[in-house]
Amino acid sequence: MNQEAIQAIAKTVRCLTMDAIQKANSGHPGMPMGCAELGALLYGSILSYNPEDPHWLNRDRFVLSAGHGSMFLYSLLHLAGFAISLDDIKNFRQLGSPCAGHPEYGAAPGIETTTGPLGQGFATAVGMAIAETMLSARYNTREYPIFNYYTYVLAGDGCLQEGVASEAASLAGHLKLKKLIAFYDSNRITIDGSTELSFTEDVAARFAAYGWNVFHASMYDTDDIEHHIEIAKKESDKPTLIILKSIIGKGAPTLQGSHKTHGAPLGAEEIRKAKEAMGINPEEQFYRDPDALEYFNNYKAKLQSVYASWQEKFKAWQEQNPALARELTLAMEGKPVQVPLWPSFKADESLATRTASGKALLSALEAWPNLVGGSADLTGPNVVEIPGEPYSTEHRIGKKIHFGIREFGMAAIANGIALSKVFRPYCATFLVFSDYLRPALRLSALMKIPVIYVLTHDSVHLGEDGPTHQPVEHLTSLRAIPNLLVLRPADAEETVSAWEIALNRNEGPTALILSRQNLPVLTKADPDWKETIKTGAYIVKNTPDEPEITILASGSEVSLALDAVKHTQKQVRVVSVLSLETFISQPEPIKTAILGKTAKLIACEAGHPMSWYALTKTVMGIQRFGESGPGNKVAEHLGISVQNLVQLIETM
């Protein structure tokens, strides 16, 4: 790529960045200005993409992990012909604009993932690279290698200080993800000042120890950068980190190199001087270099040629591989390839919902062959063991991923896999350790992507491991996340329904909250409970007449409630609440039909009671940390018992 074009594009990125942030009176000019030449090289020469088909399956992925530098991405997407207009850029950071403060997946074409929380974009890119290896192994044929895209990620000093990036980088090196290329914008500046304040490690040595190729270059020597990219593609069986020494805010005459350019507008006078130094009329707002516009206008023909050639190969592949083509199409639609054959359970059977979940998972894998995932080193306790050789460098077709003890990295990687739009990932750990992965789970919900979180050992009933491992506040905390569907089944049959609901949900993540202890298979009063449960709750035990009291419970406390009503003469209905937030959102007639017209309500759950207050203030729950001891004794000690529930019923 010629230097004249690179400089024209870089100049445009700097001008659009300065003006958009100044107009918004908010934003981060330093990173986009410091990395403008890299962006020009990537979108003007390296990346394979099609603005007219931004979801093209074999496009290269670019992730801006340093999401605060969002004007870098918006400027380049605009120039490259994606559906981001100049007016959109002029409305940067304004309500309703696709050019949000940080890139948001789905807000505009070309944004591959939501970024902003530092480090997560890096880890999500690792998931995208894993997805490419799976796609290649599963669908490529000798004649038609239809999947061979690269994943590129731009990370800054802040990203590489975050633990999630370290978790993901370690796993990426172990898995030899050779089509992952990361650029480290090493401007040596953070919000507080120089990285010398807190970040003096040898990043190159760290990544080399992870098993990465590591190269060094200047951010402004694009020929050298391109040379290292070519080496990474041709000679490597490892992921690659290219460390680029840069100048934050490059082009700002008096502020470049200063932390003052990181997160604030440059100011009108600084922008005026910057434009004058670039030979631009300082009065011209949102300047776009004509040479940059012309370059991308001409470059589209090359991109379209690559795209058209791929489409021909893809069509021929579909014709020669109809079974694989059908599987791929159904996977992208989120549909099973066959009607699932779910496990059944005997009426007198007693088993943990985590065990029932394991059986349901095996059935799901037959119907959804693109269901992939694993555990953060808790495969056995989470009961997510599946047959077959696991995913590895030698076996990319494997469905079971060993994430290692990396909960946060696991969830962020799962997001990247889900963003392939082909694979449906699940990831598993103990419920209490959902705190370790929560920021990535939050992004799953924000992006509306269908990651399934299998969270076992769901209450103080796990027992002897004590309060560090006993969740108390976690259910309430997870229910507070918008667009996260939280399901806590009461028995094995409900667990199967929970998996079915999760697998048919394509607009957001689902958390399956599962017990360690055995629970009886319930006799259900509602003959249509499998349909009713989709409202979030159904009647397990009814009364001959209108109930005086209705007990609302979830998970293991449903069977406790059924035991309690045996010890009272009152007319008590028991309702199993699989999803509290789903039930609360139902129209009043549906809720009344399940709760009763005049019944007093009691809620019962071995966790913090706060989330139940939307329905009733009478809750038997836990508002303190647990203790070490046998699970049933700990629960009783904390007030979760048949006796206490009976007393509560009698006082109503």
Catalytic residues: 407
CA proximity to 580, closest of 559, 609, 547, 546: 609
The residue written with tokens 């922008």 in the block is: 271
Q: Which two tokens stand for residue 133?
A: 């290896």
The string over 243-263, giving b where at least 16 C-beta atoms fall within 10 Å of a residue's C-beta and e elsewhere, is: bbebbbbbbbeebbbbbbbbe
SS (H, E, C) 401-456: EECCCCHHHHHHHHHHHHCCCCCEEEEEEEHHHHHHHHHHHHHHHHHCCCCEEEEE
- What is the DSSP-derived secondary structure letter of residue 534? G
- Three-state DSSP state, 193: strand
Angle at Cα 598 formed by Cα 593 and Cα 604, nearest 5°?
75
Q: Which two tokens stand for residue 570?
A: 């009152």
The residue written with tokens 């269908």 in the block is: 450
Q: How many Å apart are CA 74 and CA 60, to the nearest integer?
A: 17
- What is the DSSP-derived secondary structure letter of residue 643? H
- Three-state DSSP state, 268: helix
Helix or strand holding residue 215 (H, E): strand 213-218
Strands 518-520 and 350-352: antiparallel
| Maximum alpha-carbon separation in the chain | 89
Q: How many Å apart are CA 573 and CA 525, to the nearest integer?
A: 10
Please list the helix, strand and coil fractions of the chain in percent, rounded to the nearest 5, in that order.
Answer: 45, 15, 40
Please, are residues 490 and 518 in contact by the beta-carbon 8 Å criterion?
no
Angle at Cα 202 formed by Cα 201 and Cα 204, nearest 5°?
145
Q: Which two tokens stand for residue 322?
A: 């109809």
Name, in order, each residue with C-beta under 8 angstroms of 211's C-beta and a sequence gap of 6 or more. 173, 174, 176, 238, 239
CA proximity to 268, closest of 279, 280, 252: 252
Q: How many Å apart are CA 542 and CA 492, to the nearest integer?
A: 21
CA proximity to 247, closest of 6, 26, 38, 2: 38
